Structures are given as C-alpha cells and as structure tokens.
Chains A and B, each alone.
Chain A
C-alpha cells in the first residue's frame, strides 16, 4: 500500500476536524476527496502530507510512519503537494522555480560555490518540465507576472519536479476560470503519466472534475468518511450525493 491513514483523528481545541479516518491508497489510483465546507478535506491533506500531526492514529507512506515529519522529509520519501491557494515564488522566474525543486530533489540545493547556470542537466530537465506544463515560453518570466492559470500550473509543475510517487493537490483548479479547468486537469494527468507518478490525490469541489477524472472518491462529512468507492457507486447513492453535493447529480 502506498499511503495509509489508520484511525486518524485531529482535534483543534475541542473541535474535532477528523474522526477515525481510515484510508488505504494503492498505486495507480486517482483519488478525489470531496465534501461540504468544514468536512475536514484540507485537514486530511495536511495530515497526510505531514504538515500537521494527527491527534491520534497513524499515517504511513510506503510503510513508514510519516505523521508530522514535515515537508522536506516527505518530499525525499516521494510525496509532493500543491496548495489550494496558488503558492509560487513571486519574484523567481518560471525556470528558477522549477530548478529549486529539481536541485533539492537531487540534494544539490545547498552547494554554495557551484555555478547554477552552467548545470546543463538541471536546465534541460527544467525546460522539459516547463514544456510539459505549457510554460516553455515563459522560462524567464517572474512568477508574479503569469496569468492565474499559469501560476497554478507552475505551482503543480514545481511539485512534479520532485518526481514524487504520490502527489496531493488541494483544489488544483480553484481560482481558475471554468474554461481553463479541464485544460489544467488534462495537462496535469498527462504530466503525471509521463513522469510515472503512481497516485494522485486531490481535494476538489468541482464535481465535473471529480467525476471526470477520478478512479475513486472519498466523501467526508463532519470529519468522518461518509463514503469511499468508485464514482459510479457514489453517483448511485442519493443520500451521499445530497450530503456532499447538495443535490443528486444528473
């Protein structure tokens, strides 16, 4: 099993954000985590990525306990994450942004006297990744000058540059126009296939995206797993659909 959450509970004071959440995600699945606001989706991603430790329970990645290990170690183990709100380095260029991830994946990010520009292998990989995400023409542009959709792609591209086995995407299409959403998802899925990413886990509100791309959907409600199964099974469950989406999906 690639990633497991076993009896995870997360308390913020007296508020229970996650309660007895158990998940097992094998390689080869595109998993969507859905649920109404406050269901605990982002908390679950935070716990799965080691950003916050669970109050109880365990999180295992490739058999190792990763609860609260922090992002750097997790990245080295093979898990990456992109945030709900676009998270880029505003004044760094597109190429530099991806290069940071490439260099640190190779554990060469702390060399103080090596020439950055002369490292052809790094820049070839950066160019190939940027091309994969449709950013090949913007390598020198500062991230802050990109359109919102491109910023989102850059955010995800830098996570993909870590060559993770699992990537967790917190609302990868939030803040992006409806017209751009599917384009972003297509780029993302194709890039994942090209780079050999074994599993994608996303938090998503847009049900068209969720049902269009997922192999499996985990529905959360009030911190608990309400349903867990293939899209067709969830779609057939009117009660779950009413809770998660607010209506039955046509």
Chain B
C-alpha cells in the first residue's frame, strides 16, 4: 500500500516537474528515464532470473546506434519507428548471443556477456565507415507521434514534449514488465533463480526460459538505448564499453534489485548523484566506488530495501 502510494506520488512529481524544475534538472531526468527502461529489463535477468550480465550496455549501444543510423543515414525521424526498430535489432542480436550465454551461469555467464559487450565495442570502434569509429554517429532530433516540433529549440523540445514522451514510455515499459514478472513466465523465472535443479524437475525448461528472459531484457535495453541517444544527440562506442555495463549494475544495486521499481529509482538517484558529485570533485569515480561498497555491505537491498530486514549471505 505504501509502495503504491509512493509510486503515485513519484509519478505526480515527475509529471509536474516541467512546471517547477529548471530545464537543466529536467534534462538530467531524461537519461534516467532511458536507463530506467533498460534496467527494468536487466532486472528481469538479474533480480528475477538470477543471471547477472556484465555486458548489458551492448544492447543500449545497439538501440542508440539504431536511432543514429535511422535518423542520420536512412532519414527516418519517427521515434515510434526508431523505438520499434531498436527493439527488433536488440531482439535479433540477443538471439545468438543469448543462445550462447544462457548455457552458462554465475561468473561464466557474467564474463561471457562482458566479452560480447567488448566485442561490440571493438566493432563500433574499428568499423569506421559503418559506425563512425570513435566519433560515433549523430542522432538527429526525431519526430514524436508525427510532430517535428520545429518551432522549439533543443532545450524546449527535450524538456517539453520529449520529456513527457520518455516518461510515458518508461511508464508503459514498467507496466509491461510488471505484467511479465507477474505472469506464469515470471513465476517460472523466479523458480529458476531460487533452485534451477528443482525447477527442471517440476517441468521448467530452464535454459529456454533463461533465453526468453535474456531476449526480453535485450529489447528493454535497446529501447532504453534509443531513448538515451536522443538528448545527447550522439551514439558513440563508449555506450558499449564495460564501464557502462558496470554503471547499469551499480544502478540496480543502488535502487534495489529485489524491488520492482528499485531499478528505476536507482537510475534516477545515480544520474542526479553523479551530476552533483562531478560538480564537486574530479574524483567522482572514487566517491562512487566507496558508495558502491557501502551499498553492498550495509544496504544490500538498495534504497528501496532500506525498510526490510537484512539478509546475510551463508
């Protein structure tokens, strides 16, 4: 009940933010919305299924490059088409990658996803004609529901129509993911997380269901990536770099992977905190490293797990 009330209050605050918050603060929220979508997917893989990917940035980069290609090289500006194309590209790449990765679990799964992420990073970096190399590819301003909003400057576009578009997409993604988590597939995935051997003996096709979770997570990651690229206006290889995947895991832990909205809260807090700390010191990574250690040691349930009783590892 408290959770539902907090969600409603949070949503009202985000909807009314453009009327009260300065544009700079609003532009900070845009990547948080995009990460929120990607993390909902990543948490289906980690929080629900028990597979920790260290290469999920691969799919955000795929989404961002899909947006870049479509807007800069194909001339497609419709964000609806871009989002659908990103989802399709994410799913297409996730099929072979997932088929290989879900054969393994624990650290082997994590390392394999990391390897694929870095492979894609190298591809983006080296195949200059296709990807723009280290310079990346520009992401041009998309149309939203067919409207170009040509009369708005960039900031007005981002903090006005695009802000609500991204927020609506995040809300839709959360509703879809909520449905998935509460579906028979969600229950089967939780069973796999808890005890894969037992799950197999009650008829759960463990590897196949892990694969489904992987593909769904990839689709959410690619959609998040497409949305992430619009405010920055650029898709570059660093989106696929392993530290970006590490940030995603950090956001999950920060918000609390055991809570459905933990990833979204983690993304919001991470982005705002990163901005604040970066404005104070050049050693922001040092501060974030310390913060990550504190979260893991003292608050393993993350921000949304603060009220819960603490669980120790065996």
| B-binding residues in A (CB < 8 A) | 70-72, 75-76, 80-81, 83, 87-92, 96-97, 99-101, 103-105, 108-117, 119, 155, 158-159, 161-162
Number of B residues, CB within 8 Å of A? 27
State the CA gap A96–B187 with chains docked (Å).
7
* Segment from B87-95, B125-133, B202-210 that makes contact with A: B202-210
Interface residues of B in 182-221 (CB under 8 A from A): 182-188, 190-191, 194-195, 197-206, 208-209, 212, 216
The 9 closest A-B pairs by CB, nearest first: A104-B203, A89-B194, A101-B202, A75-B203, A71-B200, A87-B198, A112-B185, A109-B188, A71-B201
* Residues 151-185 of chain B, each 1 if its beta carbon lies under 8 Å from chain A, else 0: 00000000000000000000000000001101111
- B184's partner among A81, A91, A109 (CB-CB below 8 A) is A109
Q: Are A76's CB and B203's CB within 8 A? A: yes
State the CA gap A58–B212 with chains docked (Å).
34
> In the complex, which residue of chain A has the Cβ closest to the Cβ of B176?
A113
> In the complex, which residue of chain B has the Cβ closest to the Cβ of A144?
B194
- Chain B positions within 8 Å of A112 at CB level: 179-180, 183, 185-186, 212, 216
> In the complex, which residue of chain A has the Cβ closest to the Cβ of B182?
A116
A156 to chain B, nearest CB (A): 11
Q: Is the interface of A mostly helix, strand, loop or mixed?
A: loop
Q: Tally the A-B contacts, defined by beta carbons under 8 Å.
A: 108
State the CA gap A61–B239 with chains docked (Å).
52
Q: Are A111's CB and B202's CB within 8 A? A: no
Q: Are B205's CB and A72's CB within 8 A? A: yes
State the CA gap A97–B183 with chains docked (Å).
14
- A80's partner among B180, B182, B201 (CB-CB below 8 A) is B201
Q: Are A104's CB and B194's CB within 8 A? A: no
A157 to chain B, nearest CB (A): 10
State the CA gap A91–B193 with chains docked (Å).
10
Given contacts A96-B187, A103-B184, contact A72 B200 (CB under 8 A): yes
State the CA gap A115–B180 with chains docked (Å).
9
A188 to chain B, nearest CB (A): 17
Q: Which of B194, B199, B201, B212 has the most CB of A within 10 A?
A: B201
Q: Are B202's CB and A158's CB within 8 A? A: yes
Q: Are A116's CB and B186's CB within 8 A? A: yes
- Chain A positions within 8 Å of B182 at CB level: 115-117
Given contacts A103-B184, A113-B179, A116-B187, contact A87 B197 (CB under 8 A): yes
